[in-house]
Chains A and B, each alone.
Chain A
Amino acid sequence: MQVTSQQFKQAAVRKLADPNLQKALSGMKGRLATARARAVLELDNFEQIRSEAAQIRDHGLAHMDLYLEQWEQNATAAGTIVHWAESHEQVNRVVLEIAKKNAVRKIIKSKSMLGEETGLNDYLARGGVDVRETDLGEYIIQQAGDYPSHIIAPAVHKSKDEIADLFAEKHKRPRLNDITALTHEAREILRPHFLDADMGITGANFLIAETGSTLIVTNEGNGRMTTTMPRVHVAVAGIEKILPTLQDLSQILRLLARSATGQSVSNYLSVTTGPKRAGDKDGPEEFHVVVVDIGRSRVLGSELREALRCIRCGACMNHCPVYQNIGGHAYGWVYPGPIGSVLTPAYVGIENAIDLPNAATMCNQCGVVCPVKIPLPDLMRKLREKQVEKKLRPAGERLGLRIWAWAALHPRVYSLLTRIAARAGRLMGGRERLLHRLPPGGSGWTSGRDLPAPRGRTFREIYAARRRRTTR
């Protein structure tokens, strides 16, 4: 997928002024957060499980190569054909070659964010294969020629009316006005494709080393369809998806659906180990897994390593005040929200997504709700530091930070400067005690609001005075 993260600011301004999007976002606001909060209370040891999940992920990352080898050995023994790929082009080519070799004309696809990264659908279409997305949200997006704006609710930016228009046009049927009817029309349209597609493509929520299995989680059942009906199944999975055992998986699954949608469990969890067995009446004759390292090992060796724990639940975006107001598209790549603000610069280059780590209030809602304890604000701060180190920030800003850093290291100077600023602020605030306009550097902040003026004394002065009082 093309990266447009460098246009973040302009895009965010447009999104804030887009009435359709704002309506869609206001319908979403808080709902998933509330559902999650409720679901978390079902577990009396949620925090314990959360810590264990982070440890499981860290352990998998620390021994990733050995677990992947073990996974490969078990998968191969079960008849899975394992491929390895390290570039977008390689992933796409391997999948197209499997399709060509099997004379595939039609593919049904269960959503894969990695597939979005590599632009898999477009590549296959250019290769002459018909690819149908089957997750309802992804299907809507594909029909509209659009991109997902949320990792688990891809079409959350689209209104019912837009979808009704789209379906009437694409399905050439009378326009429907009801969400249930629209959903069932999509079911009816997609059902024949499930039955006659030659190949199914899925992502993988996890790879399980102990058994050489892949896991797919869905609510709709399209994951089951895609892994069961066609004669060939291809799963694409990032190397970071590795888990040691089925017991580890069971523990992590207590967090995934709760963090994502507030469900206790997703409707369908499918653990696949190899193709159709002797005697089986269903299942694919061939099962391929493409194991992918695009940027993952680089992140593993960087200070952003903890981001690889991510289990793609979307809780960080569901709780992010920035995401909740601008939606996912402004972020300009596959992963929006706080995790996107870390993964996008990590995967596409820090210089190609300058604004993302800065588009955060550092409120740490994302860090608090992350089921695997990714310290997202810390990672964004590390990216900000890197931007300064690499001189990717404006010269004036860097100079300002240098001056501040120097002052902060010289307490007397700091104390003097803050005293002057506090007293000047008080004078400027006047009787209203409000600053209407800050000097350059802070003027953006006051362009739409006032800043309460300082009252004249700094924190350090008040603190020192109190200590004098209490020690007297």
Chain B
Amino acid sequence: MSVRENILKRIRDANRAANTPTAEEREIVQSRLRARARGTLPGMNWELAPRFTERCLAMLSTVDEIGSVEQAPAAIARYLDSLQLPMRAVCWPEFAQVDWAGAGIDMQARPAQGDDKVGVTGTFCAIAETGTLMLLSGEDWHATTSLLPDTHIAVVHASRILRAMEDGWDLLRKEHGGLPRQVNFVSGPSRTADIEMTLVMGAHGPFRVHVLIVSD
């Protein structure tokens, strides 16, 4: 018997189950997988957008609001300037056509590399319960852009702020069917408290996460 068969048999023995799974057992498992039943959600007696903003701030992201994606360059230029960060950034291809130069930003639509300082991404959707960005990997959604630069700026459409992670999975299935290579839930900047339990931002990922909510 292979290691795999050994292990599966030991599990069945431990569960005092018959040597081969019964049709009834299979149905219990399959019906749970089909049903994808939600657990009992905590009370969510709040408005989506204000809650999302509040939780973003609690997770130490910063938040700004703009009326349309066209206003992103000016808002980002203001943000970078306020922190005296370089006016150079990389972004996802979906923002390649935005007029960055007009706001004085040197923008390149390519995956981030180790020395890029600012990365601008879109967001598949956002989770109000926890102030979380739900990012998918993919051909035009480079995972490195939200990971390697010191500063991650995420554009979130207000219409795509959902209540809970459960809603994010439902939307993903509806719009894409299956899962991409990686789904990343990002809640604020990278941090650690591994030395004397003292919180320090920027352990390995971005030092800063700036969320631009497009009110459309």
Contact = CB atoms under 8 A, between A and B. Distances in A.
Interface of A: 24, 27-28, 31-32, 42-46, 48-49, 52, 56, 59, 61-70, 78, 84-86, 90, 134-137, 140, 153-156, 158-160, 163, 179-180, 182-184, 187, 190-192, 194-195, 209-211, 213, 219-222, 224-225, 227-229, 239, 244-248, 250-251, 253-254, 261, 264-283, 291, 293, 297-298, 300-301
24 contacts: A28-B197, A65-B11, A65-B12, A66-B25, A137-B192, A154-B194, A179-B196, A190-B204, A213-B179, A220-B203, A224-B147, A228-B143, A245-B36, A247-B169, A264-B130, A267-B189, A268-B185, A270-B183, A271-B182, A276-B181, A278-B139, A298-B10, A298-B14, A301-B15
A270 B182 CA distance: 7
Given A66-B25, A67-B29, A247-B169, A267 B197 contact: no
B178 to A, nearest CB: 7
Contacts of B2: 84
A195 B114 CA distance: 7
B181 A272 contact: yes
Contacts of A219: 190-193, 203
Contacts of A180: 200
Given A211-B178, A222-B203, A225-B204, A163 B111 contact: no
A163 B196 CA distance: 10
Given A227-B182, A264-B130, A269-B184, A281 B194 contact: no
A63 B29 contact: yes
A229 B194 CA distance: 23
A136 to B, nearest CB: 4
A153 B192 CA distance: 10
A282 to B, nearest CB: 5
A265 B59 contact: yes
A463 B147 CA distance: 68
B76 to A, nearest CB: 22
A45 B42 contact: yes
A132 B36 CA distance: 39
Across the A-B interface, the 6 shortest Cβ-Cβ residue pairs: A221-B205, A301-B14, A279-B139, A220-B203, A251-B39, A137-B194
Contacts of A183: 192, 194-195, 200, 202-203
Nearest to A279: B139
A269 B169 CA distance: 14
A187 B26 contact: no
Interface of B: 2-4, 6-8, 10-17, 21, 25-26, 28-29, 32-33, 36-40, 42-43, 55, 58-59, 111, 114, 130-132, 137-139, 142-144, 147, 164-166, 169, 178-198, 200, 202-206
A221 B149 CA distance: 12
A24 B60 CA distance: 27
Q: Which of A271, A277, A282 has the most CB of B within 10 A?
A: A282
Contacts of B196: 24, 27, 159-160, 179
Nearest to B196: A160
A155 B196 CA distance: 8
A283 B188 contact: no
Given A179-B195, A253-B165, A266 B139 contact: no
B164 to A, nearest CB: 7
B36 A267 contact: no
Contact of A282 (B33, B143, B164): B143
Contacts of B137: 228, 277, 280, 282-283
A271 B198 CA distance: 28
A266 B187 contact: yes
Given A179-B195, A222-B204, A265-B130, A49 B8 contact: no
A223 B56 CA distance: 21
B141 to A, nearest CB: 9
B14 A85 contact: no
A283 B15 contact: no
A160 B194 CA distance: 10
A45 B40 contact: yes
Given A267-B188, A301-B14, A135 B181 contact: no
Contact of A65 (B8, B186, B192, B204): B8
Contact of B13 (A85, A224, A301): A301
Given A64-B11, A191-B204, 5 more contacts: A264-B55, A273-B180, A273-B181, A283-B182, A291-B7
A62 to B, nearest CB: 6
Contacts of A66: 21, 25-26, 29
Given A134-B204, A135-B194, A279-B139, A267 B3 contact: no
Given A135-B194, A160-B195, A265 B187 contact: yes
Contacts of B183: 270-271
B190 A221 contact: yes
A224 B205 contact: yes
A136 B16 CA distance: 43
B147 A191 contact: no
A40 to B, nearest CB: 11
Nearest to A55: B39
A182 B192 CA distance: 12
A140 B192 CA distance: 13
B187 A281 contact: no
A247 B38 contact: yes
Nearest to A208: B179
Contacts of B205: 220-221, 224-225, 267-268
Contact of B14 (A222, A247, A300): A300
Contacts of B59: 264-265, 267
